Amino acid sequence: SNFYTPMRLGKAVYRVLYKPHRMPFYVFRFMGIIASIAAGYNSSNYPITRTTAGYFNGIADAYWLEEDLTLAQAYYMEGRIFSSVNHRSNYSLASVAIENQRTQNAIQHLAKGVGKNPLPQTFVNLSLMLNDEGKFFDAKFQLEDGTATFPNSGPIANNLGLLYYNTNFLDSAGYYFADAQNSRRSVEEASTNIWSIGAKLNVKVSVDSALDLLYTGNAGQDANLLAWLGQQDQAFALPAPPPFPKDSILSQNDFGRLYNYTLLQLNQPDTAWVNDLHGYTEKLENDPWWERLTLAKAWVDFQALNFVEATKGVARLSLALPSKRGYYENLLGLMSLKIGMPNKAMVHFREAIRENHRPAPIHYVFAQLEAGQFTQARQYLSDLGSTLPSASTTRTKVNLLSEALDWNPASGKELSDQQKHWVIRYRNLYLPPATILEEWQSMGTNDFKALAGLFLWENDPELAPYVQSELSSLPVSTAALAQRIAFSLVAADPDQPDLATHSLTPITPQQKLQQRMAAIGLENGAASAETMKALAAQAPINPDLVQQVTNGLNNDGDTLGAYALIQQAVTFNQWDVELLKTYAIQCIKAGFPALGEKALDDLKLSLPAEEYNTLEAEYREIETLLTPAGFG
């Protein structure tokens, strides 16, 4: 265009001059402003609105710290008005909604955060909220969108695995956990979760491999490894204990590690570590995991024959948790039944009944029967049956037990094997031995026949030899029942190896106590006496054991130590007449005549006259020997 004018006029061209069209500066400035606005708009980065939004978010944070959620929410909303897609306002509004228990509002705020430039945490948090609302597929789709946006995000893959794990799709869960292991940010969590699947499915891995991994990762992985080890049938040495956390409030993973290690000791208790755990649980009164850890320790104490400490732990839970008192009183009753203390069990079952614990009434009936209170049990059972719904499981059991207790051999009514077991156990004293034997021989279910046979063997001297010979060749379906029979056979046979060194595993608390006493008998004198004393203090359910230790202490001149032992035994088992007799005698030996006289008065009401007279004569003889000459 620069040559157009001279050429149009027909003038000669001697040289070319370039005259460019120039754009005024104000045009450049205007276009720059337009470009800046466009760039800011496309990046949601308005200098003014973002700054203003940040200002309101800061005010909201101040109110949040003062726990004024209403004003905090209002200012976060102002911040979002100036910048609708800023994550700070949306996430904070979601947090306020969660604090106010408005889940739907929280979901809406998080959904706005997903709308533009989301973070991996946005997808994860929104998915968790949706899943808590029962919207599994919505939660799943959010995480899948997150995976598409962030294909290498370990936390998203890990949470997707957890979503499938919690709905029992373990193959899909394992796939995503394995994917999450490739991310440095989630490798520990994913490894922990993979071992959780291993524990849930009881996958077959060598025990040595699991033990090598123990304590090499985080506490969560250790917890799942210990859970897996607890399911293994093969024997292995108990691993070293985990360290006790320093904080008085446990994390979930710290609790899991301690809890699963405690349960691992049910079959091989480490008494020293359990004692350390007792001191540690004393510091955890405000910890959310204190209840379960205390209960686990109680079960380990019970397995370790420390019945006194076990029942103390459960009683502590009963007092500390009023809303669960019925449950724990019922548990105390069951523990008492298991160690052969039906009268003590009845006390706890009555307390559980007062707390309206549903299983307690039928347990109370069985405790009455074990205590020999047949008439009272039959009456209570009749009253109980009239109060239960006709379709309830407990009502069905009540009816079956009532039929067994009322059964007349002349009626010709055929009983189930379970009912025959009840007849043999609870009506043994009221039916002829021939009838009892006939019912036992007619039982077709070997497990019920074995249980009834063990009872006859221990309680019916007339039938015991025949029953013992039959049980020796009776096949049963459970390993525990087979071991219980085998242990009883070994204990009854004088030609068998010593019970203390025999490889058979005792099953019942009584068998465990029997084997432990035999083992103590093999120790040297001083060690044996101390160990026997500790055992008598922990498990005062065997009057012979308590009497033996009490006599030993008296012979050593420690009458007060003997009194303390028998006093604890009587406190634990106040219904055992033999213990009460020992207690009365020990009171006078230890110099507590007032307590001895009171014990005699109590025994006079429960002992036959001849037995009481013998006891009183022994008491007076000791009293005379211990009274100094010249004093009345």
Kind plus residue range of the DSSP H or E element containing 76 = helix 69-82
Averaged over 15-35, what is the pLDDT? 70
pLDDT of residue 498: 61
Query: Which pair of structure tokens corresponds to residue 515?
Result: 């084997």
By the 8 A CB rule, do 79 and 89 touch?
Answer: yes
382-408 pLDDT per residue, tens? 888 888 777 778 888 888 999 999 988
Least confidently predicted of 5-9, 484-488, 620-624 = 5-9
* Each residue's pLDDT tens digit, 340-354: 899 999 999 999 999
pTM: 0.71
Place of tokens 């929280």: 106
What are the tens digits of pLDDT across the range 186-202?
666 666 666 676 666 66
The pLDDT value recorded for residue 188 is 64
By residue count, the chain amounts to 632
Q: Please determine, for residue 103, whether its predicted confidence score (pLDDT) is greater than 60.
A: yes
> DSSP state, 14?
-
Interacting residues of 270 by C-beta distance below 8 A, sequence separation 6+: 238, 241
**Residue-level pLDDT at 66:** 66
Q: Position of tokens 């209002």? A: 74
- Identify the pLDDT of residue 69: 67
- Say if residues 307 and 333 touch (Cβ distance below 8 Å): no
Could you give the C-alpha distances from 608 to 49, 256, 398, 439, 618, in angstroms and in order?
Answer: 97, 54, 35, 34, 16
Q: Is 632 buried (19+), middle (13-18) or exposed (0-12) by CB count in 10 A? A: exposed
- Give the C-alpha separation, 498 to 493, whole Å: 10
Q: Does position 81 have pLDDT exceeding 50, yes or no?
A: yes
Q: Is the distance from CB of 94 to CB of 106 less than 8 angstroms?
A: yes
Q: Note the pLDDT tens digit of each residue in 26-64.
A: 777 778 888 777 766 655 555 555 666 666 667 766 766
- What is the DSSP code (8-state) at residue 51? H
Instruction: Decide if 575 contacts 344 (C-beta within 8 A).
Output: yes
> Please, how many CA atoms are within 13 Å of residue 567, restricted to the half-sphere of its CB?
14
17 confidence band (pLDDT: 50, 70, 90): low
Domains of the chain, start order: 321-406 (1.25.40), 523-626 (1.25.40.10)
For 180, the token pair is: 């999450």
Question: Other C-beta atoms within 10 Å of 80: how many?
Answer: 21
Percent pLDDT > 90 in the chain is 19
Which residues touch 451 (CB under 8 Å, ≥6 apart)? 421, 481
The single residue listed with the structure tokens 């409030």 is 249
